[in-house]
Amino acid sequence: MEQTIEPTLQRNYPMRLATSLGVGGPADYFFRPRSAADIQWALRFAEERQLPLTTIGYGTNLLVRDGGIAGLVIQLADSFAAASVHGSTITATCGCLYGSVSKLAAYHSLSGLEYAVGIPGGLGGALFMNAGAYDGEIGPLVREVHWVTAHDSGVWHTPEYTYSYRFSRLQEANVIVTKTVLQLQPGDQRTIYAKMNDLQERRRCRQPLEYPSAGSTFKRPEGHFVGSLIEQANLKGYSIGGAQISEKHCGFIINRGGATAGDVLQLIDHIQQVIADQFGVELQPEIRIIGRQRLR
């Protein structure tokens, strides 16, 4: 049974409620900070009790195993969301929705974030994964990244925030990013909105937005398109339990209802094996897979 031991620190929190795929076992401890000071408090809490630590955003690119997550989960989401515009820069905390920051930029006639309008999830996750779509990504826009640890804080400037395709320095650094400053370019508002509307319509037509999913399941292999490979392998609509390869876009695994993380993981393994056997292509997950195999 869920039990509150601090105002926003909860025990045995069901991670299916914190992920867009809607699967996953409980987190031992779950915390939603409202400030950088809250984050440091939580980090010290984990440090003093020698708890493993996991940081997530809105859980839109996340698969939590059915055994849940050991230790403390810190979720940077709507309780830690604030943004402001200064000239051609946007300063935003990492609990901001990525798409909302894109809309804020458009409102102020700033160009560079149009591609992000339909990307779900938070700004922190976008920085962690160097998220992007339609030939755009966040890495080139980053001017500053502010971070904390249990006992320290700091700022990386443009050359220090290194990134590549679906990778950033944050994946190797033992810090939690709190906010960022993005450098954009002044643009024509009508042109910006027109581009955003076009991208939104493309997503609605091509992606299974009507079902729970974790977005694109696999990274794009060089020289190939994942959805096309899966469709050519006659796997469209293939399902295991409640997990199914979307019939609308084969690059997505959806939860048709009642799926477990085990269903999704078995389906991922099956896709990887079939594509490797038929095309000699090794598919690597783009979604982040975390947690215990089984409850203790």
Q: Which residues are marked as active site?
A: 166, 216, 286
Burial class (CB in 10 A: 0-12, 13-18, 19+), 219: middle
